[in-house]
Amino acid sequence: MLRRLLVVAVLALASACSSGGGGAELPPGPDLMKKAAEAMKTVKSAGFSIATEGKPQVPVKKADGRLTAAGDAEGTLTLDVLGTLQEVSFALVGETVHFKGPTGGFQKMTREQLAQFYDPSVILEPTKGIARLLTAATDPKVEAVESGSYRVATTFPAEAVATIVPGVTQGVAGKVWLDQASSRLTKASLPLQGGTVTVSFSDYDAPVTITPPAGG
C-alpha cells in the first residue's frame, strides 16, 4: 500500500511539473518582429559579420566590420570576382570609401560607386536595412528560446534581403534570433540556392569612431 501511494505521489508530482513548470509562453511572431524592427531603428552602432556555408550564389562570401547609424563603416569583405575570391579592406567615412586589396595601398571611390556593388552602411539605416527587413517579414512564427534569444521562422521578400546580402533575387524562408531583453537582432540564417548565408550582430551601441586609414 505504501509503495502504491509513493508511485501515485511521484506521478502526480511529475504531472504538475510538466504542466505548470514549463517554459514561459512564447510571444506572437508579428508582435515580436514589430518590436524588433523598432528596436533596430534606435541602434547607434554595431559589429557585424556575414558568413556563407556551401556555395550560395551571392558576390559577398564573407564580411566582418563595424557600422554606425550615421553611415560610416569599416572592415573587410571577401568578394567573388569572376570565380576568384578577393579580400578587400575598407573604411567608409562620409562620402568617401578607402579600400585596399591584397596588394598595394589604399585607393578611393565614392559612396555612390560602392553602392553599385555593396553598401554596408545601409545595414543600420532605419528605412533600408535590418529594420526594413524585419518589417517586411511575413508569417513569422516564434519557434523556441535559444541562448537568450527568440528563434523566429519567417519569410523575407527578395528586395529586403538584397540590401543586406546583394545578389538575392527570390524570397527567402529563413530564421532570425531576437534578443529577449533588447529585441535586437543577434543572427539571421538565410538559406539560398546552393548554400546558406548567416548574418550576425554584436557590440550594439559600443563607442565607434571610424577615420580614414593612414595613407588612404
Instruction: Examine the pLDDT at 14 and tell me if it is beyond 60.
Output: no
Average pLDDT in the 109-124 region?
A: 88
**Cβ atoms within 10 Å of 18's Cβ, excluding its own:** 9
Q: What is the pLDDT of residue 216?
A: 64
12 sits in which H/E element: helix 2-20
Q: What is the pLDDT of residue 215?
A: 66
Q: pLDDT tier at 176 (50, 70, 90 boundaries)?
A: very high
* Domains of the chain: total: 1
Q: What percentage of the chain exceeds 90 in pLDDT?
A: 75
Average pLDDT in the 104-118 region?
A: 89
Average pLDDT in the chain: 88
Residue 207 forms part of a structural domain: no
Residue 161 forms part of a structural domain: yes
Strand partners, 98: 91, 108
CA distances from 90 to 114, 161, 162, 189, 212 (A): 10, 22, 20, 25, 9
Its sign, for the CA torsion 18, 19, 24, 27, is positive
Range of the structural domain that residue 126 is part of: 26-202
The 8-class DSSP code of residue 129 comes to S
Residue 14 forms part of a structural domain: no
Residue 216 forms part of a structural domain: no
Residue 172 forms part of a structural domain: yes
Residue 191 forms part of a structural domain: yes
Tens-digit pLDDT profile for residues 183-198: 999 999 999 999 999 9
Rounded Cα gap, residues 200 and 117, in angstroms: 21
Q: Which CATH number is 185's domain given?
A: 2.50.20.20
Tens-digit pLDDT profile for residues 72-84: 999 999 998 888 8
Q: What is the pLDDT of residue 19?
A: 35
Residue 9 forms part of a structural domain: no
Tens-digit pLDDT profile for residues 158-167: 999 999 999 9
Instruction: Examine the pLDDT at 55 and tell me if it is beyond 50.
Output: yes
Residue 130 forms part of a structural domain: yes
Question: Cell numbers of 99, please?
Answer: 579600400
Instruction: Give the global pTM.
Output: 0.84
